[in-house]
Amino acid sequence: MGPRPKPKQPSGRGGRDRDPLQIGSVLRSVEYYLKGNRQSLLAVEENLRPLLPEELVGRVQVTGVHGGVLTLSVVDAAGKCLLEMILRGKAFEALCKALPDMSLRKVKVVLT
């Protein structure tokens, strides 16, 4: 028996077949998405901060927004309870008015 032949790589997977312009366009779109997502999360944090009492300001983190649901994370159960109570009041309405482009439906609070 002779040596085994090397398996052929499918087209588009080898280093020589890749077009660097295609890879760059994919990376640009990912960078654009991440930059926009980061800016929207920063906008949420900036508008949420004045609505929170001082004891919660450093303990609440904006995790993300998906499908109109804003997800916030808190480090302890007491902070979660307090934050949920605040957001049931006028704070959620004020946040929705401050961020009309996000069309927020509800807020989910999770423990970190």
Query: What is the per-residue pLDDT across 46-93, written as a single tens digit (0 to 9) for each?
Result: 999 999 999 998 899 998 888 889 999 999 999 999 999 999 988 999
Specify whether the CB–CB gap between 74 and 111 falls below 8 A: yes
Q: How far is CA 79 from CA 47, 58, 60, 100, in A?
A: 19, 11, 8, 26
Query: How many Å is the Cα radius of gyration of the chain?
Result: 23
- Residue 30: pLDDT band with limits 50, 70, 90: low
Reading the block at residue 41, the tokens are: 């999360």
- What's the whole-model pTM score? 0.67
Residue 37 vs residue 109, higher pLDDT: 109
The yes-or-no verdict on residue 9 having pLDDT over 60 is no
Mean pLDDT of the chain: 81
> Is the sign of the CA dihedral 38, 39, 43, 49 positive or negative?
positive
Q: What is the CATH number of domain 21-111?
A: 3.30.300.180
